[in-house]
């Protein structure tokens, strides 16, 4: 094995010819451009107790003043996209556009219904948000039990989230 490595090394050593650089009698002066330092402006998000703050909005909020939200120091907005397997929030696309217009990071959430197939809900949600290039991960808003027991609720939410993450 040692001979093999020596042979490989010899291939490279023989193929490289190193010549000395020509000597230069006079040094070449390169003018140094004067660069004025610019202040670095970092758009630090406002925090409360170390947490970045934001809002969640839906059509229930009516017309949202996203500029006021941004001016108050919020750095993101989660916008309700869908509910169940067929209800698109009436102001979803408008709210996404308006939140982005003022520089907020935007994400979408789905309002989970426990009495509807979680895969159908996930498919519907993704069909409405997949091409928007949102800034934040998708969120499942799980508030109601729709008469499902706790174990069933957990299983359905897990199926929904698994499908959102994997597409399966």
Residues designated as active site: 56, 143
DSSP 8-state secondary structure symbol assigned to residue 51: E
Q: Residue written as tokens 């934001």? A: 54
Q: For residues 108 and 79, give the distance between their C-alpha atoms in angstroms, rounded to a whole number.
A: 5
Q: For residues 99 and 72, give the distance between their C-alpha atoms in angstroms, rounded to a whole number.
A: 14
Q: Which residues contact 112 (CB under 8 A, 6 or more apart)?
A: 118, 121, 140, 141, 142, 143, 144, 156, 157, 160
Q: Is 82 helix (H, G, I), strand (E, B) or coil?
A: strand
Q: For residues 123 and 28, give the distance between their C-alpha atoms in angstroms, rounded to a whole number.
A: 67
């Amino acid at each position: 094995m040692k001979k093999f490595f020596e042979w490989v090394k010899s291939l490279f050593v023989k193929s490289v010819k190193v010549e000395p650089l020509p000597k230069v009698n006079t040094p070449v002066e390169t003018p140094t451009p004067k660069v004025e330092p610019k202040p670095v402006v970092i758009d630090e998000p406002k925090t409360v107790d170390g947490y970045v703050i934001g809002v969640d909005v839906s059509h229930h909020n009516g017309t949202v003043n996203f500029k006021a939200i941004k001016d108050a120091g919020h750095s993101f907005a989660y916008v309700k996209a869908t509910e169940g397997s067929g209800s698109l929030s009436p102001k979803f696309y408008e709210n996404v556009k308006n939140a982005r217009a003022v520089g907020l990071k935007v994400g979408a959430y789905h309002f989970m219904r426990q009495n509807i197939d979680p895969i159908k809900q996930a498919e519907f949600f993704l069909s409405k948000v997949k091409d928007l290039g949102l800034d934040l991960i998708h969120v499942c808003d799980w508030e109601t039990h729709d008469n499902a027991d706790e174990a069933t609720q957990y299983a359905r939410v897990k199926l929904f989230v698994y499908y959102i993450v994997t597409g399966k």
